[in-house]
A and B are shown apart, each in its own frame.
Chain A
Amino acid sequence: DAMVIQNPRYQVTQFGKPVTLSCSQTLNHNVMYWYQQKSSQAPKLLFHYYDKDFNNEADTPDNFQSRRPNTSFCFLDIRSPGLGDAAMYLCATSTSMGKGETQYFGPGTRLLVL
Chain B
Amino acid sequence: DQQVKQNSPSLSVQEGRISILNCDYTNSMFDYFLWYKKYPAEGPTFLISISSIKDKNEDGRFTVFLNKSAKHLSLHIVPSQPGDSAVYFCAASGWNTDKLIFGTGTRLQVFP
Tell me whether A and B are bound partners.
no
